[in-house]
Structure 1
Amino acid sequence: MAIYNLGSINADNVYRVPHLVAPGETLAATALTRGLGGKGANMSVAAARAAARVVHIGAVGSDGRWASDRLMEYGVDTRHIAQVSAPTGHANICVDAAGENAIVLFAGANHAVDDGMIGAALAEASAGDIFVTQNETNGQPYAAQTAQGLGLRVVYAAAPFDAGAVRTVLPFLDLLVLNEVEAAQLTAETGSNLDEMAVADIVVTMGAKGCRWMSQDAGVQDFPALEVTPVDTTGAGDTFTGYLIAGLDRGMPMAQAIDLATQAAALMVTRVGTADVIPDLKEIQDQRLG
Structure 2
Amino acid sequence: MTIYNLGSINIDRFYALPHLPEPGETLSALRHSVGLGGKGMNQSVAAARAGAKVNHIGAIGKADDWVRERIESYGVNCQFLRALDSSTGHAIIYVDGEGENTIVIDAGTNAQQDYESVLRALDGAASNDTLLLQNETNLQPDAATFARAKGMRVIYSAAPFSVDAVKALVSDVSMVAMNAIEAGQLCDEMGLTLEQIPVPEVLVTLGSKGAMWRSNETGEVIEVSSPKVTAVDTTAAGDTFAGYFAAGLDLGMSVQKSMEWATQAAALKVTRHGTADAIPSAAEVAAFSSK
Give the TM-score taking structure 1 as reference length.
0.98
CA distance in 2, matches of 1:115, 1:246: 26
Over residues 164-217 of structure 1, what are the superposed CA-to-partner deviations in whole Å (9 max), with x where a residue is unaligned?
A: 001111001111110000000000110111101221211101112211111133
Q: Which residue of 2 aligns with 1:181?
A: 181
1:75 aligns with 2:59: no
CA distance in 2, matches of 1:231, 1:82: 34
Q: For residue 139 of structure 1, report the CA deviation from its aligned partner.
A: 0.4
Q: For residue 64 of structure 1, report the CA deviation from its aligned partner.
A: 2.2
5 Å-filtered alignment, 1:238-253, equals 238-253=239-254
Q: Which ranges in structure 2 are unaligned for 5 or more consecutive residues?
A: none
5 Å-filtered alignment, 1:79-228, equals 79-215=79-215, 216-217=217-218, 219-228=220-229
2:121 alignment partner AA: A
3-state SS of the aligned residue for 2:90?
A: strand
1:4 alignment partner AA: Y
Q: Relative to structure 2, which stretch is displaced further, 212-221 or 199-208? A: 212-221
CA distance in 2, matches of 1:169, 1:113: 17
What root-mean-square deviation, in Å, do the aligned CA atoms of Structure 1 and Structure 2 show?
1.0
2:57 alignment partner AA: I
CA distance in 1, matches of 2:218, 2:10: 37
CA distance in 2, matches of 1:218, 1:232: 35
Identity of aligned residues (%): 48
CA distance in 2, matches of 1:277, 1:284: 12
Over residues 122-174 of structure 1, what are the superposed CA-to-partner deviations in whole Å (9 max), with x where a residue is unaligned?
A: 01111110001100000000000000011110110111000000111100111
CA distance in 1, matches of 2:201, 2:246: 12
Q: Which residue of 2 aligns with 1:282?
A: 283
Indicate if the aligned counterparts of 1:57 and 1:80 stay in contact, CA closer than 8 A. yes
Q: For residue 62 of structure 1, report the CA deviation from its aligned partner.
A: 1.6
Q: For residue 61 of structure 1, report the CA deviation from its aligned partner.
A: 0.8
Q: Which residue of 1 aligns with 2:62?
A: 62
CA distance in 2, matches of 1:184, 1:265: 21
Q: Relative to structure 2, which stretch is displaced further, 197-206 or 106-115? A: 197-206
CA distance in 2, matches of 1:116, 1:273: 33
CA distance in 1, matches of 2:153, 2:261: 19
Q: Relative to structure 2, which stretch is displaced further, 202-211 or 157-166? A: 202-211
CA distance in 2, matches of 1:193, 1:64: 43
Q: Which residue of 2 aligns with 1:229?
A: 230
Q: Which residue of 1 aligns with 2:262?
A: 261
3-state SS of the aligned residue for 1:15?
A: strand
Moved over 3 A (4+): none
1:212 alignment partner AA: M
Equivalent residues, number: 290
2:266 alignment partner AA: A
Indicate if the aligned counterparts of 1:263 and 1:289 stay in contact, CA closer than 8 A. no
Q: Which residue of 2 aligns with 1:13?
A: 13
1:228 alignment partner AA: V
Q: For residue 289 of structure 1, report the CA deviation from its aligned partner.
A: 5.9
CA distance in 2, matches of 1:162, 1:273: 25
3-state SS of the aligned residue for 2:289?
A: coil
CA distance in 2, matches of 1:207, 1:66: 32
Q: For residue 225 of structure 1, report the CA deviation from its aligned partner.
A: 1.7
Over residues 238-276 of structure 1, what are the superposed CA-to-partner deviations in whole Å (9 max), with x where a residue is unaligned?
A: 000000000000111100000000000000000000101
CA distance in 2, matches of 1:24, 1:129: 48
Give the TM-score taking structure 2 as reference length.
0.98
3-state SS of the aligned residue for 1:78?
A: strand
